[in-house]
Amino acid sequence: MNTGLTDAEWELVHHLFERRTTRGKPLTHERRDIVNSCMYIMRTGCA
Does residue 36 lie within any of the structural domains?
A: yes
Does residue 38 lie within any of the structural domains?
A: yes
Indicate the pTM of the whole model: 0.76
How many domains does the chain fold into? Answer: 1
Residue type, 23: R
Does residue 2 lie within any of the structural domains?
A: no
pLDDT digits (tens, 9 = 90+) for 4-32: 899 999 999 999 998 888 888 888 999 99
3-state helix, strand, coil in the chain (%, to 5): 55, 0, 45
pLDDT at 33 (0 to 100): 94
> Whole domain around residue 32: which residue ranges?
7-44
Does residue 34 lie within any of the structural domains?
A: yes
Does residue 1 lie within any of the structural domains?
A: no
